[in-house]
Structure 1
Amino acid sequence: MNALELRFVWLLTVLGSDTLRALASNRLWSEDLLNDFVPSGRVSNRLVRSLNNKDDTAVALAKASSASSSSAEVGTKDEKAENVELKAKNPESPKVDLKNLEKEINKKLQKQTELEMQELQKELPAEAHPVGFAHSSVKILRDPVGHPVGFVGEKMMSVATKGKTRFPLIKGGGGHRVMDLSQFLWYVQGLVWALLVVFLVYVVVDYTLWSDFSYWSRRGVPTRSPVLPFFGNSLLKWRRHLFLEPSEFIKQYGTIYGWFEGKVPWLTVADPNALKEILIKDFDSFTDRQTFPTMKPYIRLMMSDLTGGDWKKVRSLVSPVFTSGKLKAMTPLVVKCAERLRENIKIAMRESESSVIEVKPIFSIYTSSVIASCGFGLDTVLKVDDPFIVHGRAMFVNPLQTSILSVLPLAFPRVVARFLPHAFPFESLQFFIDVGKQVVENRKEERVKENYNSRKDFMDLLLDAQEKDDSGLLTDECVVAQVILFLLAGMDTTSNLLVMLVHELASHPDIQEKLFAQTKEKIREHDGDIGYEMVHNFPMLENVINETQRLWPATGSVARRCTQSKQLSNGIQISQGTTIQIPIYHLQRNPEFWDDPNEFHPDRFQNNTERNPVSFMPFGLGPRNCVGSRFAQLESRLAAVHLISKFKFSVSEGATTRVEFSKGNTQLHPLGVRVRVELRQ
């Protein structure tokens, strides 16, 4: 930053707060400001109010000056103020010669300024003399109407000269000069033009030298258009349903095409053979996921953000947490939350006169309760306004997502990570970090006691894994990071699945009744015990949930990064650092794999063992699939059984079966799904 920019930053610091506050409120006058123009005496608050109420400014100023000049005759300060007020009320006050008044005020101001400058000269060292633009005399500044105005406030003066003068000064070597408003505006205008020129030069250099938007065409790969500087193909992403986009472009460019997210080359791959190579056969060349630069260490420690050897080690430590035996032990905690879910549905029915309820908030409480209990070890009854719910919901609300600002992370990812922390809800993240740290500390204190009774929850299992870790990777911070990832990966995805499950059952009453009959039979077979064994030996329930996930996957696409250059069997060369987009939503509705792909037919999963593995992967595919997929299935199935056995869902009168989804990201977030609920006898 050069000297010119440093001066401008200093001026904004000194002048910004008071000036902008006054301009925003259109109240440029203050008692201190009037005293700048009438230095020999104080003015009344009534006069200040009259000026701010847009009375004749010049006349009021003249009356104030006249009042101050007669201070010797009036006597006390109270008498002076009273004299000013009486003269302001007197309709027969003599006319004021404004020209003479201005000259008189200028003389007083100049004399006072010279005296104050002399005092300041004595206090400041030689290398800290106030300097500025050449302006030999102090003049009254006027607004466009002609009224005398000022933009200097008490706070600004104290910053500039420790209260010794009422005019803005810049420290440096030189003489004593005062900057007026016109010079300040000229200064700002010059800087704006300079910044604009620098920005345009940067755009040209970035587009011509630093960006390679011919990357894919030179490799013979079809490329989306148009491609724009900085933003690539993603300028209007906040206005679109991103999970639908790949299907549109696959029709136009084929099953493999290139595009740019910002300046980064991406390759969309929907070819089944190429996907098997990327996800399974040649996984060692595509081990990493897409990550976003962040300054927060807890995010970097999440398994989803770890890369290379660190990911492999942490994955090997965490995977045993989700074995069948561990999930069975954790099932009672989930069942308890599912029973509360059933009660919350009843409460919502009582509060709704028509028994039509919005289901997403209720399902969010359920998934949050499961995570609080199984992840954080908090056995508490959560309500909609509970901090755990509020902060959990905030974690999925990105303020940049639905505005034009959503393209900033694409063009300037590191700048956004450094200077726009609110692109991610770090306040809510910090809440869960604090909770997680406290739980780890408390749990470690309990575990050393002889009579400790393990909850067999996610936290206990991670601490068990930590004790067996000889690499030092699974630190307390890493444990907390995995619990928070458990929240991020499981809260919204499972609640969205339950929303769409209820929606499909309400829209297909014949399938719902068949599932209800089989649910009653299964409950009788297990003597009323709704647990792990029951929900994992229930083929129709599994088929219904699978079909819901096929139509409405948690995310429309997933990404993998090429960690070492690789040539696919079709001849396409993928360079290290390239990001691969895998369009799950498109693949799971591809007519090449599925008959009537847009219809809800759970029976299609009956004995469907011959399907292509890339045609259905709601939890991903290959070594880097979702580590918690089995827990998510347990959680959703237990909730479904508790719902189907007690309630009947139907489409509310006049409602449409079409579901609206949020825009701006690849995840599927249903909006405002409402259904009619009846209690089964």
Structure 2
Amino acid sequence: MNPDTKRKAQKFVERMNFILKLSSCQVTENKYGTSTFDYFKAQGIVGPKPLPYVGNLWGMWRKNIPNYDKEMTKKYGKTFGYFDGTLPNLYTTDINLIKSIFVKDFDHFVNRRTFEIKRKVCRKMMTVLQNKEWKDVRSSVTPVFTSGKIKLMSKMITECANRLVIKFQKIIQTGGKLDAKIQFSAFTMDVIARCAFGMTIDNLGEKDDPFTTKAKVVFSPPATKSPLMLFPFVFPKMLPYIGDGIFFPKDFFFFVNLLEDLIKQRTNSSEKYHDFVEVATESIIEYTKTVGNKEVPSWNREEVDEIVTAQTEFTKQSLFFLLAGFDTTATTLTNSVFLLARNPDIQDKLYQEIMKKYEKFGQVNHEMILDFAYVDHVIHEVLRMFPPVPRVERGCNKEVTYNGIHIRKGMVVTVPTFALHYDEEYYPDPYRFNPERWDSESEIKPSSYVFMPFGMGPRNCVGMRFAMEEIKIALCTIVKHFRFFPVAETPEEMQFEDGFLGVVQPIHATVGIESR
């Protein structure tokens, strides 16, 4: 058999094997296509009626998730049953359930929803790790986000914020209309480039900038707005055979390759960068385990590099959350200037408070934003009204029952954050932008168990403190220099893209900008 014929025969065999596996999986799924659908009904839990095989997911790629979740909660109550394919998913905004699931009984809900991912680096992302492996990686990465480590990176964040001021001044000279999401995306990518990669990129936000353009594709892939998004939920066992391109488009590996090359270059270098790659590598290498009576490294050098690559790219929870961190922070800053433009009295008060701090410290820096209550209140209220992650999930790893609600092993519990953050029981007058509600003296100060922009409990966002540092430095810097106001293009209410997106995407976020 000649080589060409042999290759064709091999491809034919591979295709037939794939078809056989798909057929086998289809038969299995058909058998159980509706068999779980009485799970909630048997417990007296209401919810939307599921369709065979797809459950309640059909058409989700066309939905506006924030509005959809608020409508569903209004219709079915604080706790209702839902089906992702045939998988039962308990949706809840009940404070007692949230406290139990995310904090009190965390040992029953250690993991997040998981899909079988085989790719190197992707399989080591903290979002997909489970049980003890997740705990070990989390424990080794957490020291990277101590106050001392963040303070080192804070200087780089400040430099990026000062470059943003120069960009905004140019925008004022050319019309004074700020496309907030584009500019803040460039800023947060600048921060990532400095703090995670130790590099400065001059053309961020420009037309041919590969960093920002590829990051956008990674976090808003076309599949999330098409029926393709159903496949991992309806046929989860088939993911290893069809590939995980739905989650990780090719642009994702631009960042993987970049970081792997960076780590290789530094292996034999003695230069100090004080960025995330360096700090994370040192922290993970130092993490040990006990074998017999001897303390040994928990991971070999190859595993350390893979974990660092997975955790580094977005100085947040993982390579994926590198991109999530890029997008969630850019989205939060976008929402901040929108709300400040629409609420000039609050913007003026924030400016006055910033100037008081500035007079004391002489610059916007790490020390200035410490113990700065009002800027914390403003950011908390922005994150309440527009939480960047619309749903927070936990997978049940050990069955448990709460007040007659049985949650079995393998099912998912979801908190729809928009529905939670607009619940009038927890947040009176929820559609009003009111930073004062977060004041320690406020009679309506919300419970910490109903505020979830960073998740909650032991598996919350590991990079939360870094994200807050970045947001506070950026917000203090720009409000000190500029005033934001509505223009003809500014919508009355913030609008977000439709689609099954992991991070909400603001649209039409244009505001006016002028120097103070």
TM-score range, shorter chain: 0.7 to 0.9
Q: 1:521 aligns with which of 356, 367, 371?
A: 356
Aligned to 2:279: 461
1:567–1:495 CA distance, 2 compared to 1 (3 A): same
1:202–1:521 CA distance, 2 compared to 1 (3 A): closer
Provide the rounded CA distance (Å) in 2 between the counterparts of 1:288 and 1:436: 27
Residue 328 of structure 1, CA deviation:
1.1
1:215–1:307 CA distance, 2 compared to 1 (3 A): farther
Provide the rounded CA distance (Å) in 1 between the counterparts of 2:25 and 2:286: 52
Contact kept in structure 1, 2:85 and 2:233, CA below 8 Å: yes
Runs of 4+ aligned structure 1 residues displaced above 6 Å come to: 201-205
Provide the rounded CA distance (Å) in 1 between the counterparts of 2:420 and 2:152: 35
Aligned to 2:407: 574
Residue 245 of structure 1, CA deviation:
2.8
Aligned to 1:496: 331
Provide the rounded CA distance (Å) in 2 between the counterparts of 1:621 and 1:565: 20
Q: 1:541 aligns with which of 356, 366, 375?
A: 375
C-alpha root-mean-square deviation of aligned residues, in Å?
2.4
- Give percent identity, aligned residues only: 32
Indicate the larger mover: 458-467 or 558-567: 458-467
Q: Are 1:237 and 2:60 counterparts?
A: yes
Q: Are 1:348 and 2:184 counterparts?
A: no
Aligned to 2:385: 551
SS in structure 1 of the partner of residue 331 of structure 2: helix
Q: 2:95 aligns with which of 268, 272, 284?
A: 272
What are the superposed Cα offsets for residues 612-656 of structure 1, whole Å, 9 maximum, x if unpaired?
Answer: 222212111110110000000000010001110111110003643
Residue 521 of structure 1, CA deviation:
1.8
Look up the equivalent residue of 1:529 and give its one-letter code. Answer: Q
Aligned to 1:476: 305
Larger radius of gyration: 1
Contact kept in structure 2, 1:565 and 1:573, CA below 8 Å: yes
Provide the rounded CA distance (Å) in 2 between the counterparts of 1:650 and 1:218: 50
1:209–1:613 CA distance, 2 compared to 1 (3 A): same
Indicate the larger mover: 464-473 or 371-380: 464-473
Alignment of 1:73-92 (within 5 A): none
What are the superposed Cα offsets for residues 3-30 of structure 1, whole Å, 9 maximum, x if unpaired?
Answer: xxxxxxxxxxxxxxxxxxxxxxxxxxxx
Look up the equivalent residue of 2:427 and give its one-letter code. Answer: W
1:416–1:671 CA distance, 2 compared to 1 (3 A): farther
TM-score by length of 2: 0.87
Q: Are 1:378 and 2:196 counterparts?
A: no
Q: 1:445 aligns with which of 255, 258, 268?
A: 268
Aligned to 2:418: 585
Provide the rounded CA distance (Å) in 2 between the counterparts of 1:596 and 1:633: 25
Provide the rounded CA distance (Å) in 1 between the counterparts of 2:98 and 2:49: 26
1:249–1:332 CA distance, 2 compared to 1 (3 A): same
Contact kept in structure 1, 2:78 and 2:94, CA below 8 Å: yes
Residue 416 of structure 1, CA deviation:
4.8
Look up the equivalent residue of 2:478 and give its one-letter code. Answer: L
Q: 2:113 aligns with which of 290, 303, 318?
A: 290
Look up the equivalent residue of 1:635 and give its one-letter code. Answer: E
Look up the equivalent residue of 1:671 and give its one-letter code. Answer: I
Indicate the larger mover: 487-496 or 207-216: 207-216
Provide the rounded CA distance (Å) in 1 between the counterparts of 2:28 and 2:146: 54
Aligned to 1:301: 124
**Residues paired across the two proteins, number:** 478
Aligned to 1:564: 398
Between the two structures, name the one with larger relative contact order (CA 8 Å, sep ≥ 6): 2
Residue 395 of structure 1, CA deviation:
1.2
What are the superposed Cα offsets for residues 227-276 of structure 1, whole Å, 9 maximum, x if unpaired?
Answer: 11221001010111123333322233322211111121111122111111
Indicate the larger mover: 665-674 or 494-503: 665-674
1:478–1:525 CA distance, 2 compared to 1 (3 A): same
Residue 211 of structure 1, CA deviation:
4.1
Indicate the larger mover: 373-382 or 602-611: 602-611
Indicate the larger mover: 397-406 or 616-625: 397-406
1:349–1:418 CA distance, 2 compared to 1 (3 A): farther
1:207–1:254 CA distance, 2 compared to 1 (3 A): farther
Look up the equivalent residue of 2:219 and give its one-letter code. Answer: F
Contact kept in structure 1, 2:364 and 2:473, CA below 8 Å: yes
Provide the rounded CA distance (Å) in 1 between the counterparts of 2:344 and 2:135: 46
Aligned to 1:29: none
Structure 2: gaps (5+ residues)? 6-18, 288-296
SS in structure 1 of the partner of residue 267 of structure 2: helix
1:425–1:561 CA distance, 2 compared to 1 (3 A): closer
Contact kept in structure 2, 1:377 and 1:439, CA below 8 Å: no
SS in structure 2 of the partner of residue 555 of structure 1: coil
